[in-house]
Each structure stands twice: as structure tokens, then as C-alpha cells.
Structure 1
Amino acid sequence: MLHLAILGFFVSFIVTRVVAEPLINYLWNRGIVRPDAHKPGKPSVAHGGGVILFAGISTGIALVMTLLGAPLSLKVLIIYASATLCFIVGLVDDIKILKGQVKTLLSILGIVPVLITGLTAPALIDWGRPELPVIGRMRLTIIYWVLMPLSIAGAANVVNMLDVMNGIVPGTSIIIFLTLALVSLMLGKETTLIVSLVVLGALLAYYKYNAYPARVFNGDSGSLFLGAFVGAIAVVDHLEFIALTLLLPHVLNGFFILVSFRGFREHREVGKRPIRVGEDGTLYASTDPDAPLSLTRIMLAVGGPSTEKEVARAYIALEAVVAVLAVVSVLLSFR
């Protein structure tokens, strides 16, 4: 199965690299651009890079699925379908701009493929039994069912909330999916291995276009798409604890934002910004007590003024730390 996952990785990488330039030009020609708020002069950047990721990942998934047998191909399809529904929600928001609450509620639709499978083929997904290191499989009932609608939407939205600067989302996501691929090899999770390597291939090809200085923004289509993959993998292949560990920086940032905003709000709806941009592009934590709190603002307040590239590197380093924790937790389960 590893050879199919590697095939999917290379196909996804190649297709993403081939379509990136034409799609960026298409977004520019259609006027789908946004100002880069963390640079002097706020230059316009093509917006909606999720379509690039979608093209590469979809091609890789399609090829691998034609070579897979059931039930593995069906599990891959469930994860992909869940992520695609969130991609569509994000794409609509990139073009039409949805309110934060509406976008969040629509992203809950990502759980639909999982629910349909659970009702029609319950043996395929053993619901209510998440795995924890050392402890093993747990049996949950009410709590699991209450949280299930939020499993994919929650992951998608916390990744979206961290999409604040060039390179952060694809940079941290590369580490996330690389770790998921490693963990899947350790635990024998073939579905996760295939999906993770396909997504990883697209991310490695795409990263340079979103890294500082970005030529294209991920858009909600990109960040919701990637986050939904993590949530869907967690539910379908019982990697809830690993996924939560890998998303700790995202969850922490999301918590600060929700508390500050008292709910889901778009960045466009926020009057006072948590970060101030100097004339030379240096980023400073806002000293306004009424400005919303975010993990980035806290990092700048503690570490001092930084460049956008330094902030992105700090997030990637933080993600690497939690990735190590995730792998260690798996190693402990073998003891």
C-alpha cells in the first residue's frame, strides 16, 4: 500500500506545480485579490489558493482510488468528500464573502459523508471508540455524539483562524500531514497514510507560492480544505488524540479569538487589529486594550517586534514541537 501512497504523493505534487501559475494568473485576471495587511502599502495578492490545492489533491486521490480495492477506497473517499464540502464552503466565501457565523455553520456539512457511511455501513467506521495512548480504545456515547458534528468543522475553522500571515497554514500543515503519515506507518493506518501523503505532495509544491512574500493567499477554500482533512482523518481512522495534539497551536489561537470576539467573526468585521505594522514592515503587538487577543499578538508581546517571516518560522517551530509530542504519544502506546 505504501507504493500507492507514494504514487499519489508524486502525482499530487506534479499537478499542483503545473496548475499553480495558470490559476494564480486566472485569479488575478478575474480580480479575485485581497490586500496583504501585514506589509507596508498593503499590496494586492491573488486570493483563493485553495483551488490550486484542490486540483492537485483531487487528482492524486482520484488516481489512487482507481487502484485501491474496497473498503479502503471507500474510506479514502469519505475523508476526501468531507474535506471537499468544506472546500466548497470556503470557495463560496472567497468569492461572495460570507458572515463568520454562516461560514462556520455551513462547514458542519463536512460531517455528512461520515454520517451517511455510519448509517449505511456501520462496520466501516467504529464510532464512539477513540484511541488514546497507553489507555487504548475508549467507549464513549453521549459525549462523542455531541462532539461529532464539530469534529470536522472544528478542525477546519481553527486552521482557518490561524491563516493570518504568509506561509503559516501551508508551513504548519506540511508538518501536520508529515506527522500523520509517520504515525500511520507506526500504527498501520493505511487510509491515513494514503491521504496524508497525497495532501503532503500538494502542500510541498504549493508552499513557495504562499510563503513570504506570498503570490497567492490560501483563502478560506484552502484553510478550510486542509483543516477538514485533519478532522476527517481523525474521525474515520480513530486518530482523534493525535489530531488534537497536532492542532494545539490552532486550538489555542482559536480560543483566544473566540473569547476576544465573543463568537465567530470575520477579520473584515474587526475594527481594531491585534497587530500593528511599522513603516518598515516590522510587526508589533497592539497596546490597545480593546484590540482582540490572538496567539500572534501574545507571541509578539512576549518575544518583541518581529518580521512576518520570523512570525511564520515561530509558528512552524511550534508546530514541530507538538508534532514531536504526537509521535512520542504513539511510542508510549507500544510500551
Structure 2
Amino acid sequence: MALYLIAFVLAFLIAFFTTPLAKKVAFKVGAIAKPRKRDMHKKPIPRMGGIAIFLGFMITYLVVIKYMPIIDTKQNIGIIVGSFIIFFLGFFDDIYELNAKLKFLIQIAAASIVALCGIRINFISIPFLGDSFFSTTVFSIPATVIWIVGITNAVNLIDGLDGLAAGVSSIAALSLMALSISTGYVPAVVLTATLAGACIGFLPYNFNPASIFMGDTGSTFLGFTLAVTSILGLLKGYTMATIFIAVLVLGLPIFDTAFAIIRRFLAGKPIMSPDRGHLHHRLVDKGYSQKQAVVTLYGISGILGLSAIAFFNRSIKFVFIVFLMMGFLLYFNMKAMSSHDKNNEN
């Protein structure tokens, strides 16, 4: 537990104290988010906060593996090389707004490196059927690449409100950490603790009203790292958990992205085209403030994470408590919206 706490605190402190540096870099290279029609901010804001998240995570990770080699060398290489590729992809995308197809190909390359270095989805257990499972040996590399690229883009797509992606990623990382503690796989626990610390260290600068955005530098890196750590902690072995559990933990970005794809397909638009149909946009359009929308989505993400832990431990009482929390969240949100509507009428 001391190792996990050290990893969390070190990543938090590095991210917190390097965020002002990230602001300076963003201004110097011209990575400034100017207000667009679909955006929520009204003035130009630097968008390279992901530098601080990356530094918090990577420096801590390198320190940990130097003094405690928790993962084999080949897997270390995959994580480090893949992370640097994704980081620099986001870095240059924040400056030059790269072509979507080019970004997709580079993401596939980074995910392939991770898979070829031994971090793969080898088995998937079947939900609610005990230790029943099927092997993905033949398709392990393609399955791993699809998972990593999918989660990378899912987290990127929810980065639409101040503090949303950082907070949801923190909650997902902490949920994965709790599950990884249950499986007893130390490397996954350290990685998720490190990622959560880096996200939370950045959050004070990013929560509404944000003074800096994480940009693609941060959102794609967060998605990539969450995907990789979920494989290490959950999907690698059939005795650990099911794909169902991992999908629950990362449910908010996964479901939002899935609906976005369906929505754009039915409208005859390119799948990667931006719009204001995401869940966070819909909440704001319904009258929520940015803070209300973000906190609501934090609650949903937290409930999904707790649901995953409950299902993993097969605790009926825990599942009941989770659904009770979901009911309270729905009640208070409906009450808040009713109050908002009455104020508008007055």
C-alpha cells in the first residue's frame, strides 16, 4: 500500500507543479483553443495541459520501475514507447490539427507496439458463468489493438467540458485500481494509482472555470493509458475478470462514443465529424451549468465503477447500494432541473 500511495502522491505533485509550465509551452507554440460555435468557452485558452499529466505519469512510472522492476522489460518497452508516440501525436495535433486518418494510423501503430511487447487480451471470461472463458489467442493482437484505439478515441471525444475528461479518467483509474488490488496484480495497481494521481494533480487548473485545457496531448494519452492498464489488470487473464467489467468501468466514454458513431452514421455524416450531440452537450442544452453537467457525469462514472466492483465481487448487497445511489442521483438531478425551470419561468 505504501508503494501505491507513493506513486499516487508523486504523480499528483509533478502534474500539479508542471501545469503552469505546460501553459507557457502552449502559448509559445500557439496551441490555443479559440472559441468555436460548438465550444463552451468564450475566450482563448491554452490547450496543452496534457504535458503535465504525461510528465506526472511518466516520471513516476520510470522512478517506480527503476527502484522496483514490477513489469518485465519487454512490457515496459511497449508501455513507454507507445505512450511517447501517443503523447507526441497529441502534442503536434494540438498545434497543427492533424488529419484524422493520419492520427488513426499512428494510434494503431502505438497500440500494435504494446501488443507485440506482450500486453494482450489473451482470454475473456463470460459474464455470470463463473470461470467459463474463451481464448482470443488467434485474435489477441487485433483484439488488443481495437480495444486500445477504441478507448483512446472514446476518452478524447468526452473532453468537451471543463474538468470532464480528467475527472472521469480519475474515477475510471481509481476503479481499475480497486479491481486490480482484488486480482493482486501489483503492476496494474501502481499504474492506475499513478494515472489517477496525475489526473487529479491537473484537475485544479482544469475544473470550471478552466485556465488550461488538456488538449489531445492529454485526452488521447489518458485513453491510451487507461486501455493499456485495463488489459494488464483485468483482461489479460480469464481468472481476473470479464470484458463486461472493463466495459462498465470505462462505460461513460464507451457508450457516449458508440451513440456518437450511430448518430453520425444515421445522419450520413463522417464518423469522426464533430457535433454537439454528446451527452455533456445535451445536459448543457437542457439547462445544466458546466459544473452541474460535469458533476452529474462524475456521478454516473462513479456509479459505473462501483457497479463493476460489485459485479466482480458478486456482492448482491453492493449491487443494491449502487442502484440506490443511482436513484438518489436521478432524484436530485430531476429536482435541480425542476428548480431551474421554475426560475426560468419567473
Q: TM-score range by the shorter chain?
A: 0.7 to 0.9
Deviation at 1:138, TM superposition (A): 2.1
Write out aligned runs for 1:1-335 (5 A). 2-37=1-36, 38-39=39-40, 42-69=42-69, 71-72=71-72, 75-118=75-118, 127-132=121-126, 134=128, 135-136=130-131, 138-141=133-136, 144-239=140-235, 240-262=243-265, 263-267=270-274, 273-274=275-276, 293-299=277-283, 304-332=286-314
Q: For residues 164 and 10 of structure 2, what CA distance do their matches in structure 1 show?
A: 24
Q: For residues 218 and 127 of structure 1, what CA distance do their matches in structure 2 show?
A: 29
Residues 50 and 222 in structure 1, CA contact (< 8 A), matched pair in contact too: yes
Deviation at 1:22, TM superposition (A): 2.2
TM-score by length of structure 2 reads: 0.79
Q: Which moved more, 1:159-168 or 1:70-79?
A: 70-79
| Structure 1 counterpart SS, 2:234 | coil
Q: For residues 22 and 250 of structure 2, what CA distance do their matches in structure 1 show?
A: 29
Residues 252 and 295 in structure 1, CA contact (< 8 A), matched pair in contact too: no
Q: For residues 26 and 86 of structure 2, what CA distance do their matches in structure 1 show?
A: 20
Structure 1, unaligned runs of 5 or more: 119-124, 268-272, 275-292
Change (3 A) 1:49 1:28: same
Deviation at 1:264, TM superposition (A): 3.5
Q: For residues 218 and 173 of structure 2, what CA distance do their matches in structure 1 show?
A: 15
Structure 2, unaligned runs of 5 or more: 236-242, 317-346
Residues 158 and 278 in structure 2, CA contact (< 8 A), matched pair in contact too: no
Deviation at 1:203, TM superposition (A): 1.2
Q: For residues 58 and 19 of structure 2, what CA distance do their matches in structure 1 show?
A: 14
Deviation at 1:238, TM superposition (A): 3.4
Deviation at 1:36, TM superposition (A): 4.3
Q: For residues 163 and 209 of structure 1, what CA distance do their matches in structure 2 show?
A: 15
Match of 1:280 in 2: none
Residues 245 and 322 in structure 1, CA contact (< 8 A), matched pair in contact too: yes
% identity of equivalent residues: 21
Residues 93-129 of structure 1: CA distance to partner in whole angstroms, max 9, x if unpaired? 11211123332232112223333223xxxxxx57521
Q: For residues 245 and 261 of structure 1, what CA distance do their matches in structure 2 show?
A: 24
Q: For residues 223 and 149 of structure 1, what CA distance do their matches in structure 2 show?
A: 18
Change (3 A) 1:77 1:243: farther
Match of 2:343 in 1: none
Q: How many residues align?
A: 302
Of structures 1 and 2, the one scoring higher in RCO (CA 8 A, sep 6+) is 1
RMSD: 2.6
Residues 181 and 192 in structure 1, CA contact (< 8 A), matched pair in contact too: yes
Residues 23 and 212 in structure 2, CA contact (< 8 A), matched pair in contact too: yes
TM-score by length of structure 1 reads: 0.81
Give the residue type in structure 2 aligned to 1:61.
Y
| Structure 2 counterpart SS, 1:305 | coil
Deviation at 1:231, TM superposition (A): 1.1
Deviation at 1:259, TM superposition (A): 2.5
Deviation at 1:146, TM superposition (A): 4.2
| Structure 2 counterpart SS, 1:217 | coil
Change (3 A) 1:184 1:201: same
Change (3 A) 1:5 1:79: farther
| Structure 2 counterpart SS, 1:237 | helix
Give the residue type in structure 2 aligned to 1:136.
D
